[in-house]
Structure 1
Amino acid sequence: MTVRRGVYFLANDYVLDRAIAFLNSFRAHHESLPLCLIPFADDIDDVLKLQSRFDFSVWSGDPAVLAACDDISRAFHGEVKGHYRKLAAWEGGYDEFVYVDTDTILLRDLSFAYDLLDTYGFVTTTSNVPANTKWVWQQSVRGTGVLTAEQIEYAAGTQFIASRKECLRFAEVLPRMDAALALSGHMALVTLEMPLLNYLMVTSGRPYTSLRVLAGAEGGGEPPPGDIPQERWAGDPIGPVRDGRLVTPGSPPVFLVHWAGMWWELERGDRVELPHGDLWSYYRWLGDAGGHLADLP
Protein backbone atom coordinates (compact mmCIF):
# COMPACT_ATOMS: atom_id res chain seq x y z
CA MET A 1 0.00 0.00 0.00
CA THR A 2 1.24 3.46 -0.88
CA VAL A 3 0.97 6.26 1.67
CA ARG A 4 1.21 9.84 0.54
CA ARG A 5 3.63 11.10 3.19
CA GLY A 6 5.92 9.56 5.77
CA VAL A 7 9.36 9.52 7.40
CA TYR A 8 12.16 6.95 7.18
CA PHE A 9 15.01 6.28 9.63
CA LEU A 10 17.86 3.77 9.69
CA ALA A 11 18.69 1.79 12.83
CA ASN A 12 19.85 -1.52 14.24
CA ASP A 13 20.46 -2.80 17.75
CA TYR A 14 23.95 -1.26 17.91
CA VAL A 15 22.39 2.22 18.00
CA LEU A 16 19.47 1.29 20.25
CA ASP A 17 19.97 4.18 22.68
CA ARG A 18 20.22 6.66 19.83
CA ALA A 19 17.10 5.20 18.26
CA ILE A 20 15.15 5.60 21.52
CA ALA A 21 16.19 9.25 21.84
CA PHE A 22 15.33 9.95 18.20
CA LEU A 23 11.98 8.18 18.41
CA ASN A 24 11.01 10.00 21.60
CA SER A 25 11.79 13.35 19.98
CA PHE A 26 9.97 12.39 16.79
CA ARG A 27 6.77 11.32 18.50
CA ALA A 28 6.90 14.34 20.82
CA HIS A 29 6.26 16.49 17.76
CA HIS A 30 4.46 14.08 15.38
CA GLU A 31 1.66 12.17 17.00
CA SER A 32 0.45 10.38 13.89
CA LEU A 33 2.86 11.03 10.99
CA PRO A 34 3.74 7.61 9.48
CA LEU A 35 7.24 6.44 10.36
CA CYS A 36 9.18 3.54 8.86
CA LEU A 37 12.39 1.77 9.92
CA ILE A 38 14.84 0.79 7.20
CA PRO A 39 17.03 -1.90 8.81
CA PHE A 40 20.64 -0.76 8.92
CA ALA A 41 21.60 -4.42 9.28
CA ASP A 42 19.93 -7.69 10.23
CA ASP A 43 20.26 -7.20 14.02
CA ILE A 44 17.04 -5.32 14.78
CA ASP A 45 15.41 -7.54 17.42
CA ASP A 46 15.76 -4.97 20.21
CA VAL A 47 14.73 -2.07 17.98
CA LEU A 48 11.57 -3.98 17.06
CA LYS A 49 10.62 -4.10 20.75
CA LEU A 50 10.06 -0.34 20.45
CA GLN A 51 7.66 -0.71 17.54
CA SER A 52 4.34 -0.64 19.39
CA ARG A 53 5.37 2.20 21.68
CA PHE A 54 6.49 4.48 18.87
CA ASP A 55 4.16 3.23 16.15
CA PHE A 56 6.55 2.63 13.29
CA SER A 57 6.48 0.13 10.47
CA VAL A 58 9.41 -1.81 9.03
CA TRP A 59 10.49 -1.39 5.42
CA SER A 60 8.80 -4.25 3.55
CA GLY A 61 9.78 -3.76 -0.05
CA ASP A 62 11.60 -6.19 -2.32
CA PRO A 63 14.53 -7.73 -0.35
CA ALA A 64 16.56 -7.42 -3.54
CA VAL A 65 16.58 -3.63 -3.03
CA LEU A 66 18.40 -3.87 0.31
CA ALA A 67 20.75 -6.43 -1.22
CA ALA A 68 21.46 -4.00 -4.08
CA CYS A 69 22.21 -1.24 -1.55
CA ASP A 70 24.71 -3.56 0.12
CA ASP A 71 26.27 -4.38 -3.26
CA ILE A 72 26.71 -0.66 -3.95
CA SER A 73 28.46 -0.31 -0.60
CA ARG A 74 30.80 -3.18 -1.45
CA ALA A 75 31.63 -1.53 -4.75
CA PHE A 76 32.75 1.65 -3.00
CA HIS A 77 34.23 0.25 0.23
CA GLY A 78 34.84 -3.45 -0.24
CA GLU A 79 32.40 -4.22 2.58
CA VAL A 80 28.83 -3.58 3.60
CA LYS A 81 28.09 -0.20 5.18
CA GLY A 82 24.44 0.03 6.13
CA HIS A 83 24.36 3.77 5.41
CA TYR A 84 23.82 2.98 1.71
CA ARG A 85 20.42 1.52 2.58
CA LYS A 86 19.14 5.11 2.59
CA LEU A 87 18.66 4.49 -1.13
CA ALA A 88 15.79 2.15 -0.28
CA ALA A 89 13.70 5.17 0.73
CA TRP A 90 13.00 5.83 -2.96
CA GLU A 91 11.65 2.28 -3.29
CA GLY A 92 9.44 2.40 -0.19
CA GLY A 93 5.76 3.03 0.36
CA TYR A 94 5.69 6.83 0.73
CA ASP A 95 5.03 9.03 -2.29
CA GLU A 96 6.66 11.97 -0.49
CA PHE A 97 9.08 11.33 2.32
CA VAL A 98 11.65 12.70 4.69
CA TYR A 99 14.67 10.63 5.66
CA VAL A 100 16.26 11.51 9.03
CA ASP A 101 19.44 10.09 10.59
CA THR A 102 19.05 8.42 13.97
CA ASP A 103 21.76 10.51 15.67
CA THR A 104 19.43 13.52 15.66
CA ILE A 105 16.90 15.10 17.98
CA LEU A 106 13.86 16.85 16.56
CA LEU A 107 12.72 20.00 18.35
CA ARG A 108 9.61 20.74 16.30
CA ASP A 109 7.36 19.44 13.54
CA LEU A 110 9.19 18.71 10.26
CA SER A 111 6.04 18.59 8.12
CA PHE A 112 6.87 21.96 6.56
CA ALA A 113 9.42 20.15 4.39
CA TYR A 114 6.73 18.40 2.35
CA ASP A 115 5.43 21.69 0.98
CA LEU A 116 8.85 22.31 -0.58
CA LEU A 117 8.51 19.17 -2.69
CA ASP A 118 6.05 20.98 -4.93
CA THR A 119 9.10 22.82 -6.29
CA TYR A 120 12.14 20.65 -5.53
CA GLY A 121 13.03 17.01 -6.03
CA PHE A 122 15.54 17.02 -3.16
CA VAL A 123 15.72 19.24 -0.08
CA THR A 124 18.50 18.82 2.49
CA THR A 125 19.13 20.90 5.58
CA THR A 126 22.64 22.12 4.77
CA SER A 127 24.50 22.75 1.53
CA ASN A 128 26.79 25.29 -0.14
CA VAL A 129 29.07 25.71 2.86
CA PRO A 130 32.58 26.02 1.38
CA ALA A 131 34.23 24.54 4.47
CA ASN A 132 32.09 21.42 4.15
CA THR A 133 32.89 20.58 0.52
CA LYS A 134 35.83 18.48 1.73
CA TRP A 135 33.36 16.06 3.37
CA VAL A 136 31.90 15.26 -0.05
CA TRP A 137 34.54 15.91 -2.73
CA GLN A 138 38.29 15.95 -3.00
CA GLN A 139 39.73 18.97 -4.79
CA SER A 140 40.71 16.75 -7.70
CA VAL A 141 37.08 16.38 -8.77
CA ARG A 142 37.21 19.88 -10.25
CA GLY A 143 39.73 18.72 -12.82
CA THR A 144 37.60 15.87 -14.12
CA GLY A 145 35.10 18.07 -15.94
CA VAL A 146 32.32 15.63 -14.95
CA LEU A 147 30.51 17.99 -12.56
CA THR A 148 29.89 21.70 -12.79
CA ALA A 149 31.12 24.06 -10.09
CA GLU A 150 27.53 24.48 -8.94
CA GLN A 151 27.07 20.72 -8.56
CA ILE A 152 30.30 20.37 -6.59
CA GLU A 153 29.59 23.32 -4.33
CA TYR A 154 26.18 21.96 -3.36
CA ALA A 155 28.00 19.41 -1.12
CA ALA A 156 24.94 18.70 0.97
CA GLY A 157 24.68 16.82 4.22
CA THR A 158 22.60 13.68 3.83
CA GLN A 159 21.39 13.37 7.42
CA PHE A 160 18.05 14.85 6.34
CA ILE A 161 16.59 14.51 2.86
CA ALA A 162 13.09 15.37 1.73
CA SER A 163 12.18 13.91 -1.64
CA ARG A 164 9.56 12.25 -3.78
CA LYS A 165 9.50 8.55 -4.57
CA GLU A 166 9.93 9.03 -8.31
CA CYS A 167 13.04 11.19 -8.01
CA LEU A 168 15.64 8.44 -7.52
CA ARG A 169 14.24 5.03 -8.41
CA PHE A 170 16.59 2.07 -8.62
CA ALA A 171 15.78 1.62 -12.28
CA GLU A 172 17.64 4.86 -12.97
CA VAL A 173 20.20 4.61 -10.16
CA LEU A 174 21.74 1.26 -11.05
CA PRO A 175 22.68 2.21 -14.65
CA ARG A 176 24.52 5.24 -13.24
CA MET A 177 26.74 3.27 -10.86
CA ASP A 178 29.60 2.85 -13.33
CA ALA A 179 29.84 6.62 -13.78
CA ALA A 180 29.65 7.14 -10.03
CA LEU A 181 32.34 4.55 -9.35
CA ALA A 182 34.56 6.25 -11.91
CA LEU A 183 34.48 9.30 -9.63
CA SER A 184 35.11 7.34 -6.42
CA GLY A 185 38.76 8.39 -6.36
CA HIS A 186 37.60 11.99 -6.11
CA MET A 187 35.02 11.34 -3.37
CA ALA A 188 35.50 11.87 0.37
CA LEU A 189 34.47 8.30 1.14
CA VAL A 190 35.18 8.80 4.84
CA THR A 191 31.60 10.10 4.96
CA LEU A 192 30.41 6.87 3.39
CA GLU A 193 27.18 7.36 1.39
CA MET A 194 27.28 11.15 1.36
CA PRO A 195 29.35 11.64 -1.83
CA LEU A 196 27.30 9.09 -3.78
CA LEU A 197 23.99 10.61 -2.72
CA ASN A 198 25.28 14.05 -3.64
CA TYR A 199 26.33 12.77 -7.05
CA LEU A 200 22.98 11.11 -7.64
CA MET A 201 21.01 14.19 -6.57
CA VAL A 202 22.91 16.79 -8.56
CA THR A 203 23.01 14.67 -11.72
CA SER A 204 19.38 13.52 -11.49
CA GLY A 205 17.97 16.36 -13.56
CA ARG A 206 15.66 17.20 -10.64
CA PRO A 207 15.87 20.58 -8.86
CA TYR A 208 17.68 20.47 -5.54
CA THR A 209 18.23 22.90 -2.68
CA SER A 210 18.65 23.09 1.09
CA LEU A 211 16.92 24.86 3.95
CA ARG A 212 20.08 26.87 4.42
CA VAL A 213 20.01 28.12 0.82
CA LEU A 214 16.29 28.84 0.99
CA ALA A 215 16.94 30.97 4.06
CA GLY A 216 19.30 33.11 1.99
CA ALA A 217 22.54 32.03 3.64
CA GLU A 218 25.77 32.78 1.79
CA GLY A 219 29.29 31.59 2.44
CA GLY A 220 30.07 29.95 5.77
CA GLY A 221 27.98 32.15 8.05
CA GLU A 222 24.76 31.44 9.87
CA PRO A 223 21.48 31.55 7.95
CA PRO A 224 19.84 34.97 8.17
CA PRO A 225 16.90 35.42 10.54
CA GLY A 226 13.61 34.22 9.14
CA ASP A 227 10.91 31.61 9.35
CA ILE A 228 12.57 28.70 7.52
CA PRO A 229 13.53 26.11 10.16
CA GLN A 230 17.18 25.13 10.27
CA GLU A 231 19.41 22.32 11.50
CA ARG A 232 22.16 22.91 14.05
CA TRP A 233 25.22 20.73 14.51
CA ALA A 234 25.59 19.70 18.13
CA GLY A 235 29.26 20.70 18.02
CA ASP A 236 28.18 24.36 17.84
CA PRO A 237 26.57 26.39 20.62
CA ILE A 238 22.80 26.12 20.45
CA GLY A 239 21.87 28.00 23.62
CA PRO A 240 20.45 26.77 26.92
CA VAL A 241 18.06 23.83 26.94
CA ARG A 242 15.25 23.13 29.37
CA ASP A 243 12.83 20.19 29.25
CA GLY A 244 13.95 19.22 25.77
CA ARG A 245 13.51 22.66 24.23
CA LEU A 246 15.70 25.65 23.52
CA VAL A 247 15.10 28.29 26.19
CA THR A 248 15.62 31.13 23.73
CA PRO A 249 14.72 29.66 20.33
CA GLY A 250 15.62 32.77 18.32
CA SER A 251 15.39 33.11 14.56
CA PRO A 252 15.61 31.15 12.34
CA PRO A 253 13.90 28.42 14.38
CA VAL A 254 15.96 25.29 15.06
CA PHE A 255 14.02 22.13 14.29
CA LEU A 256 16.78 19.52 14.37
CA VAL A 257 20.07 19.00 16.23
CA HIS A 258 22.53 16.56 14.68
CA TRP A 259 25.45 14.85 16.43
CA ALA A 260 27.36 14.12 13.21
CA GLY A 261 30.62 12.29 13.91
CA MET A 262 30.40 12.70 17.68
CA TRP A 263 29.38 9.17 18.56
CA TRP A 264 32.36 7.87 16.59
CA GLU A 265 34.64 10.19 18.56
CA LEU A 266 33.16 8.97 21.85
CA GLU A 267 33.62 5.34 20.87
CA ARG A 268 37.23 5.97 19.83
CA GLY A 269 37.94 7.83 23.04
CA ASP A 270 38.63 11.10 21.19
CA ARG A 271 35.83 12.84 23.10
CA VAL A 272 35.02 12.53 26.80
CA GLU A 273 31.42 13.68 26.72
CA LEU A 274 28.63 14.31 24.26
CA PRO A 275 28.07 18.00 23.48
CA HIS A 276 24.60 19.09 24.56
CA GLY A 277 24.26 15.78 26.33
CA ASP A 278 21.48 17.25 28.46
CA LEU A 279 19.29 17.61 25.37
CA TRP A 280 20.04 14.10 24.16
CA SER A 281 19.54 12.58 27.63
CA TYR A 282 16.18 14.30 28.05
CA TYR A 283 14.81 12.46 25.02
CA ARG A 284 16.67 9.21 25.70
CA TRP A 285 14.96 8.88 29.07
CA LEU A 286 11.67 10.59 28.28
CA GLY A 287 9.03 8.28 29.72
CA ASP A 288 11.89 5.87 30.51
CA ALA A 289 11.32 4.38 27.07
CA GLY A 290 12.98 1.01 26.79
CA GLY A 291 13.70 0.69 30.50
CA HIS A 292 10.70 -1.58 31.02
CA LEU A 293 11.14 -3.70 27.92
CA ALA A 294 12.16 -7.27 28.59
CA ASP A 295 15.62 -8.42 27.56
CA LEU A 296 16.91 -4.99 26.55
CA PRO A 297 20.61 -4.54 27.34
Structure 2
Amino acid sequence: MAPRRGVYFLANDYVLDRAIAFLNSFRAHHEALPICLIPFGDDIDGLRRLQSYFDFTIWSGDPALLAACDDLSRGFHGEVKGHYRKLVAWEGEFDEFVYVDTDTIVLRDLSFVYDFLDTYDFVTTVSDVPDHFKWVWRESVHGAGVLTPDQIAFAAGTQFIASRRECLRFAEVRPRLDAALALAGHMALVTLEMPLLNYLMVTSGRPYTSLRRLAGAVGAGGPPPGDIPQERWAGDPIGAVRDGHLLTPWSPPIFLVHWAGMWWELERGDRAELPHGDLWSHYRRLGGLDVT
Protein backbone atom coordinates (compact mmCIF):
# COMPACT_ATOMS: atom_id res chain seq x y z
CA MET A 1 0.00 0.00 0.00
CA ALA A 2 1.34 3.43 -0.94
CA PRO A 3 2.15 5.69 2.04
CA ARG A 4 -0.30 8.46 2.81
CA ARG A 5 1.50 11.72 2.04
CA GLY A 6 0.71 15.27 3.04
CA VAL A 7 1.91 18.61 4.33
CA TYR A 8 1.66 20.29 7.74
CA PHE A 9 1.72 23.98 8.58
CA LEU A 10 1.60 25.73 11.96
CA ALA A 11 -0.59 28.81 12.45
CA ASN A 12 -3.14 30.70 14.50
CA ASP A 13 -5.32 33.70 13.73
CA TYR A 14 -2.52 36.14 14.60
CA VAL A 15 -0.82 35.14 11.34
CA LEU A 16 -4.04 34.78 9.33
CA ASP A 17 -2.84 36.97 6.44
CA ARG A 18 0.42 35.03 6.23
CA ALA A 19 -1.49 31.76 6.30
CA ILE A 20 -3.73 32.90 3.44
CA ALA A 21 -0.73 33.88 1.30
CA PHE A 22 0.99 30.59 2.08
CA LEU A 23 -2.11 28.50 1.36
CA ASN A 24 -2.83 30.36 -1.88
CA SER A 25 0.71 29.66 -3.07
CA PHE A 26 0.53 26.04 -1.93
CA ARG A 27 -2.78 25.35 -3.67
CA ALA A 28 -1.54 27.10 -6.83
CA HIS A 29 0.93 24.24 -7.23
CA HIS A 30 -0.80 21.36 -5.37
CA GLU A 31 -4.44 21.00 -6.26
CA ALA A 32 -4.97 17.71 -4.44
CA LEU A 33 -2.05 17.14 -2.02
CA PRO A 34 -3.53 16.97 1.50
CA ILE A 35 -2.52 19.71 3.93
CA CYS A 36 -3.14 19.86 7.67
CA LEU A 37 -3.07 22.74 10.16
CA ILE A 38 -1.26 22.24 13.46
CA PRO A 39 -2.80 24.84 15.81
CA PHE A 40 -0.17 27.24 17.16
CA GLY A 41 -2.68 28.03 19.90
CA ASP A 42 -6.39 27.89 20.60
CA ASP A 43 -7.18 31.03 18.57
CA ILE A 44 -7.93 29.47 15.17
CA ASP A 45 -11.56 30.50 14.56
CA GLY A 46 -10.59 32.55 11.50
CA LEU A 47 -8.56 29.68 10.09
CA ARG A 48 -11.45 27.27 10.66
CA ARG A 49 -13.61 29.44 8.41
CA LEU A 50 -11.07 28.91 5.62
CA GLN A 51 -10.97 25.11 5.87
CA SER A 52 -13.30 24.37 2.98
CA TYR A 53 -11.89 27.17 0.83
CA PHE A 54 -8.35 25.76 0.98
CA ASP A 55 -9.36 22.15 1.65
CA PHE A 56 -7.20 21.54 4.71
CA THR A 57 -7.72 19.45 7.81
CA ILE A 58 -6.89 20.37 11.40
CA TRP A 59 -4.61 18.15 13.48
CA SER A 60 -6.92 16.02 15.60
CA GLY A 61 -4.60 13.87 17.69
CA ASP A 62 -4.46 13.57 21.46
CA PRO A 63 -4.68 17.10 22.99
CA ALA A 64 -2.26 15.89 25.67
CA LEU A 65 0.47 15.86 23.01
CA LEU A 66 -0.06 19.56 22.27
CA ALA A 67 0.04 20.20 26.01
CA ALA A 68 3.28 18.22 26.25
CA CYS A 69 4.81 20.40 23.53
CA ASP A 70 3.74 23.48 25.48
CA ASP A 71 5.34 22.05 28.62
CA LEU A 72 8.51 21.38 26.65
CA SER A 73 8.66 25.02 25.57
CA ARG A 74 8.29 26.06 29.21
CA GLY A 75 11.32 23.94 30.03
CA PHE A 76 13.45 25.86 27.52
CA HIS A 77 11.88 29.34 27.77
CA GLY A 78 9.85 29.53 30.95
CA GLU A 79 6.69 30.18 28.94
CA VAL A 80 4.62 28.65 26.17
CA LYS A 81 6.02 29.03 22.66
CA GLY A 82 3.71 27.42 20.13
CA HIS A 83 6.61 26.69 17.77
CA TYR A 84 7.35 23.48 19.71
CA ARG A 85 4.04 22.07 18.50
CA LYS A 86 5.82 21.17 15.26
CA LEU A 87 6.69 17.94 17.08
CA VAL A 88 3.14 16.61 16.69
CA ALA A 89 3.75 16.30 12.94
CA TRP A 90 5.27 12.92 13.83
CA GLU A 91 1.99 11.98 15.52
CA GLY A 92 -0.35 13.01 12.71
CA GLU A 93 -2.31 11.48 9.88
CA PHE A 94 0.43 11.24 7.22
CA ASP A 95 2.88 8.35 6.84
CA GLU A 96 5.27 10.64 4.96
CA PHE A 97 5.03 14.36 5.40
CA VAL A 98 6.52 17.75 4.74
CA TYR A 99 6.31 20.48 7.36
CA VAL A 100 6.47 24.08 6.04
CA ASP A 101 6.51 27.34 8.04
CA THR A 102 3.65 29.71 7.30
CA ASP A 103 5.87 32.70 6.46
CA THR A 104 6.71 30.96 3.19
CA ILE A 105 5.60 31.25 -0.41
CA VAL A 106 5.64 28.05 -2.48
CA LEU A 107 6.72 28.58 -6.10
CA ARG A 108 6.52 25.05 -7.51
CA ASP A 109 5.52 21.49 -6.67
CA LEU A 110 7.36 20.27 -3.58
CA SER A 111 6.44 16.59 -4.02
CA PHE A 112 9.94 15.80 -5.33
CA VAL A 113 11.13 15.84 -1.71
CA TYR A 114 9.24 12.66 -0.83
CA ASP A 115 11.58 10.68 -3.10
CA PHE A 116 14.49 11.46 -0.77
CA LEU A 117 12.67 9.72 2.10
CA ASP A 118 13.62 6.42 0.48
CA THR A 119 17.17 7.12 1.69
CA TYR A 120 16.90 9.68 4.48
CA ASP A 121 14.62 9.95 7.50
CA PHE A 122 14.95 13.73 7.87
CA VAL A 123 15.36 16.18 4.98
CA THR A 124 15.59 19.93 5.55
CA THR A 125 16.17 22.61 2.94
CA VAL A 126 19.27 24.29 4.36
CA SER A 127 22.16 22.99 6.46
CA ASP A 128 25.94 23.21 6.80
CA VAL A 129 26.07 26.97 6.26
CA PRO A 130 28.72 28.48 8.58
CA ASP A 131 26.86 31.81 8.80
CA HIS A 132 23.76 29.97 10.02
CA PHE A 133 25.54 28.25 12.92
CA LYS A 134 24.70 31.13 15.28
CA TRP A 135 20.98 30.50 14.80
CA VAL A 136 21.27 26.98 16.21
CA TRP A 137 24.24 26.75 18.58
CA ARG A 138 26.44 28.85 20.79
CA GLU A 139 30.18 28.44 20.32
CA SER A 140 30.35 26.71 23.70
CA VAL A 141 28.66 23.62 22.24
CA HIS A 142 32.02 22.60 20.77
CA GLY A 143 33.37 22.02 24.26
CA ALA A 144 30.29 20.33 25.69
CA GLY A 145 31.43 16.89 24.54
CA VAL A 146 27.91 15.85 23.56
CA LEU A 147 27.78 16.26 19.78
CA THR A 148 30.32 15.43 17.09
CA PRO A 149 31.72 18.19 14.86
CA ASP A 150 29.61 16.91 11.96
CA GLN A 151 26.43 16.92 14.07
CA ILE A 152 27.11 20.48 15.16
CA ALA A 153 27.98 21.67 11.65
CA PHE A 154 24.66 20.39 10.26
CA ALA A 155 22.87 23.34 11.97
CA ALA A 156 19.77 23.00 9.81
CA GLY A 157 16.86 25.37 9.43
CA THR A 158 13.63 23.80 10.66
CA GLN A 159 11.26 25.92 8.56
CA PHE A 160 10.96 22.94 6.22
CA ILE A 161 11.31 19.30 7.25
CA ALA A 162 10.40 16.16 5.33
CA SER A 163 10.17 12.99 7.37
CA ARG A 164 8.13 9.89 8.16
CA ARG A 165 5.74 9.45 11.04
CA GLU A 166 7.75 6.74 12.78
CA CYS A 167 10.98 8.73 12.87
CA LEU A 168 10.37 10.99 15.89
CA ARG A 169 7.43 9.73 17.92
CA PHE A 170 6.84 11.53 21.20
CA ALA A 171 7.29 8.31 23.17
CA GLU A 172 10.85 8.19 21.82
CA VAL A 173 11.44 11.90 22.39
CA ARG A 174 10.48 11.95 26.06
CA PRO A 175 13.45 9.87 27.34
CA ARG A 176 15.83 12.19 25.48
CA LEU A 177 14.49 15.47 26.83
CA ASP A 178 16.60 15.62 29.98
CA ALA A 179 19.75 15.40 27.86
CA ALA A 180 18.39 18.06 25.50
CA LEU A 181 17.52 20.39 28.37
CA ALA A 182 21.00 19.89 29.81
CA LEU A 183 22.34 21.27 26.54
CA ALA A 184 20.06 24.34 26.62
CA GLY A 185 22.88 26.64 27.70
CA HIS A 186 24.67 25.84 24.44
CA MET A 187 21.58 26.45 22.27
CA ALA A 188 20.67 29.63 20.38
CA LEU A 189 17.19 29.70 21.88
CA VAL A 190 16.34 32.93 20.08
CA THR A 191 15.24 30.63 17.25
CA LEU A 192 12.98 28.75 19.66
CA GLU A 193 12.48 25.11 18.59
CA MET A 194 15.27 25.06 15.99
CA PRO A 195 18.11 23.93 18.31
CA LEU A 196 15.98 21.22 19.90
CA LEU A 197 14.86 19.80 16.55
CA ASN A 198 18.46 19.83 15.35
CA TYR A 199 19.51 17.94 18.48
CA LEU A 200 16.71 15.39 18.08
CA MET A 201 17.51 14.80 14.39
CA VAL A 202 21.28 14.47 14.64
CA THR A 203 21.16 12.25 17.74
CA SER A 204 18.34 10.03 16.45
CA GLY A 205 20.64 7.46 14.87
CA ARG A 206 18.68 7.96 11.66
CA PRO A 207 20.07 9.34 8.38
CA TYR A 208 19.52 13.05 7.80
CA THR A 209 20.41 15.53 5.07
CA SER A 210 19.31 18.76 3.41
CA LEU A 211 18.51 19.80 -0.13
CA ARG A 212 21.58 22.02 0.05
CA ARG A 213 23.76 19.02 0.92
CA LEU A 214 22.18 16.94 -1.82
CA ALA A 215 22.65 19.66 -4.41
CA GLY A 216 26.34 19.71 -3.59
CA ALA A 217 26.75 15.94 -3.68
CA VAL A 218 28.36 15.82 -7.13
CA GLY A 219 29.16 12.28 -8.17
CA ALA A 220 27.06 10.73 -5.40
CA GLY A 221 24.85 8.88 -7.84
CA GLY A 222 21.87 11.21 -7.49
CA PRO A 223 20.52 13.82 -9.86
CA PRO A 224 22.90 16.61 -10.86
CA PRO A 225 22.93 19.66 -8.56
CA GLY A 226 20.94 21.87 -10.91
CA ASP A 227 18.00 19.47 -10.78
CA ILE A 228 17.33 19.75 -7.02
CA PRO A 229 15.18 22.81 -6.23
CA GLN A 230 16.27 24.98 -3.32
CA GLU A 231 14.87 27.43 -0.79
CA ARG A 232 15.87 31.10 -0.78
CA TRP A 233 15.63 33.50 2.12
CA ALA A 234 13.64 36.60 1.18
CA GLY A 235 16.43 38.77 2.55
CA ASP A 236 18.60 37.72 -0.39
CA PRO A 237 18.19 38.98 -3.98
CA ILE A 238 15.86 36.72 -5.93
CA GLY A 239 15.38 38.80 -9.07
CA ALA A 240 12.33 40.38 -10.63
CA VAL A 241 8.83 39.06 -9.95
CA ARG A 242 5.79 39.13 -12.20
CA ASP A 243 2.39 37.56 -11.49
CA GLY A 244 3.82 35.46 -8.67
CA HIS A 245 6.71 34.08 -10.72
CA LEU A 246 10.42 34.77 -10.59
CA LEU A 247 11.61 36.13 -13.91
CA THR A 248 15.27 35.38 -13.25
CA PRO A 249 16.18 31.78 -14.14
CA TRP A 250 17.92 30.11 -11.23
CA SER A 251 19.95 26.93 -11.14
CA PRO A 252 19.10 25.11 -8.99
CA PRO A 253 15.54 26.40 -9.33
CA ILE A 254 13.88 28.08 -6.35
CA PHE A 255 10.80 26.33 -4.99
CA LEU A 256 10.35 28.22 -1.70
CA VAL A 257 10.91 31.78 -0.55
CA HIS A 258 11.01 32.14 3.23
CA TRP A 259 10.67 35.40 5.21
CA ALA A 260 12.40 34.10 8.36
CA GLY A 261 12.55 36.79 11.04
CA MET A 262 11.25 39.55 8.80
CA TRP A 263 7.67 39.81 10.06
CA TRP A 264 9.06 40.07 13.58
CA GLU A 265 11.36 42.90 12.48
CA LEU A 266 8.44 44.70 10.81
CA GLU A 267 6.34 44.44 13.96
CA ARG A 268 9.21 45.79 16.07
CA GLY A 269 9.75 48.66 13.68
CA ASP A 270 13.26 47.46 12.80
CA ARG A 271 12.33 47.10 9.13
CA ALA A 272 10.42 49.58 6.99
CA GLU A 273 9.04 47.17 4.41
CA LEU A 274 8.88 43.50 3.58
CA PRO A 275 11.61 42.43 1.11
CA HIS A 276 10.06 41.07 -2.07
CA GLY A 277 6.70 42.21 -0.77
CA ASP A 278 5.32 42.13 -4.32
CA LEU A 279 5.72 38.36 -4.37
CA TRP A 280 4.03 37.94 -1.00
CA SER A 281 1.25 40.39 -1.91
CA HIS A 282 0.50 38.56 -5.16
CA TYR A 283 -0.33 35.38 -3.27
CA ARG A 284 -2.14 37.20 -0.47
CA ARG A 285 -4.45 38.80 -3.06
CA LEU A 286 -4.82 35.68 -5.20
CA GLY A 287 -8.46 34.66 -5.41
CA GLY A 288 -9.62 37.91 -3.84
CA LEU A 289 -10.23 36.35 -0.43
CA ASP A 290 -11.42 39.00 2.05
CA VAL A 291 -11.35 38.04 5.73
CA THR A 292 -11.96 41.49 7.22
Same fold (TM over 0.5): yes
Number of the residue aligned with 2:232: 232
Report the TM-score when normalising by structure 1.
0.94
* Distance of 2:184 and 2:250 partners within structure 1: 40
Instruction: Quickly say closer, same or farther: Cα 1:3–1:57, change in 2 above 3 A.
Output: farther
Identity of aligned residues (%): 81
Number of the residue aligned with 2:172: 172
Contact 2:217 2:225 in 1 (8 A): no
* Distance of 1:24 and 1:191 partners within structure 2: 26
* Distance of 1:119 and 1:91 partners within structure 2: 21
1:216-272 CA distance string (max 9 Å, x none) = 079xxxxx9611000000000001011001112321000000000000000000000
Number of the residue aligned with 2:203: 203
Aligned: 1:127 with 2:127: yes
Structure 1 position 215, deviation (Å): 0.4
Contact 2:37 2:57 in 1 (8 A): yes
Structure 1 position 70, deviation (Å): 0.4
Partner of 2:95: helix, strand, or coil? strand
Contact 1:17 1:284 in 2 (8 A): yes
Partner of 2:232: helix, strand, or coil? strand
Number of the residue aligned with 1:96: 96
Number of the residue aligned with 2:111: 111
Number of the residue aligned with 2:159: 159
Letter in 2 for 1:56: F
* Distance of 1:29 and 1:135 partners within structure 2: 30
Gapped regions of structure 2 (runs ≥ 5): 219-223
Aligned: 1:271 with 2:271: yes
* Distance of 1:231 and 1:163 partners within structure 2: 17
Alignment of 1:242-253 (within 5 A): 242-253=242-253
Instruction: Quickly say closer, same or farther: Cα 1:234–1:217, change in 2 above 3 A.
Output: farther
Contact 1:3 1:93 in 2 (8 A): no
Number of the residue aligned with 1:85: 85
Partner of 2:5: helix, strand, or coil? strand
Number of the residue aligned with 1:140: 140
Number of the residue aligned with 1:221: none
Structure 1 position 3, deviation (Å): 6.4
Partner of 1:180: helix, strand, or coil? helix
Number of the residue aligned with 1:286: 286
* Distance of 2:179 and 2:236 partners within structure 1: 36
* Distance of 2:114 and 2:217 partners within structure 1: 21
* Distance of 1:287 and 1:170 partners within structure 2: 38
Structure 1 position 49, deviation (Å): 1.1
Letter in 2 for 1:161: I
Number of the residue aligned with 1:21: 21
Partner of 2:72: helix, strand, or coil? helix
Gapped regions of structure 1 (runs ≥ 5): 219-223
* Distance of 2:217 and 2:231 partners within structure 1: 13
1:183-212 CA distance string (max 9 Å, x none) = 000000000000000000000011000000
Structure 1 position 288, deviation (Å): 1.1
Structure 1 position 48, deviation (Å): 1.0
Partner of 1:209: helix, strand, or coil? strand
* Distance of 1:12 and 1:204 partners within structure 2: 30
* Distance of 2:3 and 2:131 partners within structure 1: 38
Contact 1:233 1:260 in 2 (8 A): yes
Letter in 2 for 1:121: D
Letter in 1 for 2:275: P
Please provide the CA RMSD for this pair. 1.4
